[in-house]
Amino acid sequence: MVPNTSQSGEGAARSKRADALRNRQTLLDAAAAVFVTSGVDAPIRAIAARAGVGMGTIYRHFPTRADLVVAVYRHQVDTCAEAGPSLLADADSPLAALRQWVDLFVDFLVTKHGLANAMQSDSSGFDALHAYFLDRLVPVCAQLLDAAVDADEIRPGTHAYELMRGIGNLCIGRDSDPRYDPRRLVELLLRGLERPRSS
Closest residue by Cα to residue 84 from 147, 156, 159: 147
Question: What is the pLDDT, as a whole number, of residue 3?
Answer: 52
Rounded Cα–Cα distance for residues 89 and 144 (Å): 11
Closest residue by Cα to residue 183 from 67, 90, 66, 100: 100
Domain locations in the chain?
A: 1-63, 65-199
Instruction: Please give the CATH architecture assigned to the domain spanning 1-63.
Output: Orthogonal Bundle (1.10)
Closest residue by Cα to residue 141 from 73, 84, 82: 84
Question: What is the pLDDT, as a whole number, of residue 130?
Answer: 83
**Residue 144 corresponds to which amino acid?**
L
Q: Does domain 65-199 have CATH number 1.10.10.10?
A: no
The answer to whether the 1-63 and 65-199 domains have the same CATH topology is: no
Is it the case that residue 173 has pLDDT exceeding 80?
no
Express each pLDDT in 54-90 by its tens digit.
Answer: 999 999 989 988 889 889 889 889 999 999 999 999 9
Rounded Cα–Cα distance for residues 38 and 31 (Å): 10
Express each pLDDT in 17-58 by its tens digit.
Answer: 777 788 888 999 999 888 878 878 889 999 999 999 999 999
Handedness of CA 172, 177, 183, 188 (dihedral sign): negative
Rounded Cα–Cα distance for residues 158 and 160 (Å): 7
Please give the sequence-ordered ranges of beta strands (E in DSSP) within the chain, or none if there are none: none
Question: Stretch 129-134: mean pLDDT, rounded?
Answer: 88
Question: What is the pLDDT, as a whole number, of residue 128?
Answer: 82
Is it the case that residue 5 has pLDDT exceeding 60?
no
Is it the case that residue 6 has pLDDT exceeding 70?
no
Residues forming a β-bridge with 154:
194
Question: What is the pLDDT, as a whole number, of residue 19?
Answer: 76
Is it the case that residue 158 has pLDDT exceeding 90?
yes
Is it the case that residue 105 has pLDDT exceeding 80?
yes
Question: Stretch 175-188: mean pLDDT, rounded?
Answer: 86
